[in-house]
Chains A and B, each alone.
Chain A
Amino acid sequence: MNKPDTLEQFRQQTTDWIAQHYPPQLRPTPGASGEDPRQLKIHEADWLALLAKQGYLAPSWPREYGGAGLSDEQVRVLNQALRKAQVRSPPISAGLSLLGPVLLEHGTPAQKAQHLPKIARNESFWCQGYSEPGAGSDLASLSTRAELEGDEFVVNGQKIWTSHADAADWMFCLVRTDREAPQHEGISFLLIDMSTPGISVAPIRLISGPSAFCQTFFDDVRVPKDNIMGQLGQGWTLAKQLLQHERQALGSIGRGDARRALTLPELAAQEIGINAAGQIADPVLRDQVAQCELDSLALRLTMSRSADEARAGQGSAHIASTLKLYGSELTNRRHELMISLRGADGIGWEGPGFTPAALRTTRQWLRAKGNSIEGGSNEIQRNVIAKRLLELPE
C-alpha cells in the first residue's frame, strides 16, 4: 500500500480497499433466508484473513509485528470506514486488545517477535490468568506461586474466570514469585503455553447458564524463565496497565449488545403499545426508556471525548474506571428494564413456549449482573476514582 499523503487520501484508499475485498456473500441479501451457516463461516474467515494480512486487526502496531503501522488518526479513519461500510467488525480478543499493547511496551524483542505477529494474524488465542478463588476484588492477594528452579519457573495454584481457557493457546498470568516481599512487589507476569503438562481446565456454569469462563489448575507446571514479561516482581505494575485496557473494553459492552436485537424503544413499543401520538403508552416506562437512551448517548459522547483528550495529551488514563462503572451500571439498568418490559415472557428459561428473543432477554439480564463485578467490581472502580482522579485521602 502506498503511503497516503493526507488523511483524506487514506480514507479513500481504505474505503476502496474494503469495497474491493469484502466478500459479497457476507452482505445480507433481501429475501434470502437460510444461508448455509458453514458457508458464511468460511467467508467470514476469509475476510478476517484479509484484514489480518493488511495488518488491520492490530492497525496501530508496527508492521514488523503484524500491524499496519497506522497513526491514531489513521486508526480512527479506518474504524470509521469499516463502520460506514457496515462490514463484519474485527474480533475483540484478549490477545489483541489486552495483552498486545502491554507486550509492545514491555516485552523483550524475542517475546514480541514470537507472539505479536501471531496475535495480529489471529493465529494464537490468549486467555487471562488474573483472579483466583481467594483473590477477587483483592487481586493483589493472589497466591498461585512460581518458584525458580534452574531455567524454569514451577507454577502451582489455581486461576478462576479464565475466559476461553479451554480453547486458548496461551495464558498471560499473574503469579507470586516472592512470598517475603510486600504484597504488590512479590508478583510477576508470566506467559504460559497452555499445552504445558500439569495444566487442567474446567468450564464454569453461571447463573445465566453455560459460559466461556473456566477454572484453570496448575500442578507443577514448568515455564521457561524467559517467559516472564517485565522484571521479576514488577508484575503488578503491568497488571494494572492491562486492567485499564480491560475497563475500557468492558465499558463499551452495552453498545454492542444493544445494536443486535430490538432497540429498547422498539421493545417497549412492542410490549406496551403506543398511543395515538406515537408515544410508548405508559408514561412512566417511557420516561425510564428515555433515561436509558439518553444515558447511552452520554456514555458514547464521554468515550469519544476521553479519546479526544487522550490524543491531545490531556486527561487521565484512570478515566477508564469511570467508563467501566457507568457503562456496566447502564447495561444492568437496561436489562432490568428489558426483562420487566417482557413480563411473563421474561421468566422462561429454555424450550418451547417462549420466543428465542425473550429467552435471550432473560439470559442477558442474568449475564449482565457480572458486568459490574468482572474487571474489578464497581466498588473497586469507585475506590480507584476516589484515589486517582479525586485524590481523596486514604
Chain B
Amino acid sequence: MALILSEEQQLLKNSVRNFVNSNFPVDQVRQLRDGDDALRYSRQLWQQMAELGWAGIIFPEEYGGLGLGYAELGVVLEELGRSLAAQPFLSTVLLAGNVLLLGGSEEQKQQWLPQICSGEATLALAFQETGRFSPWQVETRAETTKDGFCLNGEKRFVLDGYGAEQLLVLARTSGSAGDKEGLSLFLLAADTPGLSITPLSLLDSRNAALTTFDNVEVQTKHLVGELDQAAIILEPVFDGASAGLNAELLGTLSEAFERTLTYLKTRQQFGALIGSFQALKHRAADMFCEREHAISLTREALRAIDEQRDDAALLVSAAKARTADVANLIGRESVQMFGGIGMTDEEDIGLFMKRARVAEITLGDARYHRQRFASLSAF
C-alpha cells in the first residue's frame, strides 16, 4: 500500500475539512475556555460527527461502526487537529472504546459500542497516576469483597473524564506499583457512590479530570477482560491511541507551520517582507523537512496497525517521538516568528503551541517513545 492517500481517503478528507471549516473555527477554543461549561467540548457537534459515522470509523459494522481502518481515522483526526477542534475522540473512541472492543465481554460490547458509535455515550479511561506516562505505576487498589471489588485511590489527567457517563478504571488486584501483571479494568457509572470527579484546567483548555475512589463498590460483572491481565489489553490500545493522537498532532503542527509561512509572506519590516530574510527562510526550510518526516512516520504507523504488522509498536513510538519533537519545534519557532503579536492571546498561533505541548505529554513524551523505540529495536 502506498504512503499517499487513496481516492476514497481523499474524499473523506475533503468532507471532514468542509465539516471542520464550518463548525470548528479556532476561536472556539477561547469560547470553550472562557465559558461556564466544564465539558469543554460541544456535545451537539460530537453527535453530528457520530451521525456522519466518524465516531465509529474503526469499529466493526456489527457494533454500529464503519469497519474502516486507522488510515481513515488518521485522515479525520488530522483535519480536526488543524482547527484544534476539541472532541472526545481520543477518550471515548481510541481509549475506552478500544478497551471494550479488545477486552470486553460480548455483552459489554453490545451494550456500549453501538452507543459510542452513535454518539449517545461518552466514556473515559482512568489509568494514569504519575506525572510521566508510566502505565503500570498503579497504586489504586481493587480489594476483593463478597460481591465483587472495592476500589480506593486516585487517578490524574483522566481525558474527558468530566461529563463521561462511564469510567473505565485501571486498578491493582495483585502485585505492587510498577508490575505489569496484577492489573485489572473495571467499568463504572460516573454517579457511583464514593467516586468523585473534579475538572482540571489544562494548558490546552480541554477536558481532563482528577478522579478519586473512596471505598467504591464494583460488582464482578463490571470487570472488563481477565483479572490481573489488563496490560495485555492496554498495550495495543495505547499504541492505537498514540497513532491517532499523532495524526491529530500532525494536523496541528501543519496548520501552525502554514500559518507561519503566510505570516512570513505578509508581514513587512525594514521595507521588506520578513520572509525574504535568509535567517528566517532557512529555519522555515528546516521546519518543512522535519514535517515531511513526521508525515511519513505517522502514515506508516497507521498503516502498520491496519496491516497488523509486527513492527507496528516500533513505528508508533518512532512516529510519536518524531512528531512530538517537530510539533514543539514548530510551536516555538512560529511564536518567535510572529514576534510580539505571537505573544498575545488574541493571535491564534499560541493556541497551537499550547495544544502541541499537551499532546506531546499525553501517552508518553518524545523521550519516553525514543526509549521504547530503542527497547523494541533490542538496544
Contact = CB atoms under 8 A, between A and B. Distances in A.
Interface string B295-331: 1110110000000000000000010011000000000
B293 A295 contact: yes
Contacts of A372: none
Contacts of B272: 393
B15 interface: no
Interface in A273-319: 274, 278-280, 286-287, 289-291, 293-295, 297-299, 301-302, 304-305, 308-309, 311-312, 314, 319
Contacts of B286: 382
A326 B299 contact: no
Contacts of A258: none
A341 interface: no
Interface stretch (A11-19, A105-113, A143-151, A383-391): A383-391
**Most central of B2, B293, B367, B371 by chain A CB within 10 Å:** B293
Nearest to A319: B292
A1 interface: no
Interface residues of A, number: 43
A344 interface: no
Interface stretch (B29-37, B137-145, B275-283): B275-283
B296 A287 contact: no
Q: Which of B282, B295, B367, B374 has the most CB of A within 10 A?
A: B374
Interface string A144-178: 00000000000000000000000000000000000
Interface string B339-379: 00000000000000000000000000001001101110111
Given A298-B322, A325-B285, A290 B374 contact: yes
B374 A393 contact: no
Interface residues of B, number: 39
29 contacts: A278-B379, A280-B374, A286-B371, A286-B379, A287-B370, A287-B374, A290-B373, A294-B321, A298-B293, A298-B294, A298-B297, A302-B295, A302-B296, A305-B296, A308-B4, A309-B4, A312-B4, A314-B4, A325-B285, A382-B286, A383-B285, A390-B288, A392-B275, A392-B276, A392-B280, A392-B284, A393-B265, A393-B272, A394-B276
Chain A interface mostly helix, strand, loop or mixed? helix
Interface of A: 265, 268-269, 274, 278-280, 286-287, 289-291, 293-295, 297-299, 301-302, 304-305, 308-309, 311-312, 314, 319, 322, 325-326, 379, 381-383, 385-386, 389-394
B288 A301 contact: no
B265 A392 contact: yes
B24 to A, nearest CB: 26
A301 B3 CA distance: 8
- Mostly, the B contact residues are helix
A308 B2 contact: yes
Contact of A393 (B4, B275, B300, B321): B275
B273 interface: yes
Contacts of A298: 293-294, 296-297, 318, 322
Interface string B1-30: 011100000000000000000000000000
A325 B4 CA distance: 22
Contacts of A389: 288
Contact of A322 (B292, B297, B321): B292
B149 to A, nearest CB: 33
Interface string B257-291: 00001001100000011011010111011101100
Contacts of A294: 318, 321-322, 370, 373
Nearest to B321: A294
From A278, A299, A390, name the one whose CB has the most chain B CB atoms within 10 angstroms. Answer: A390
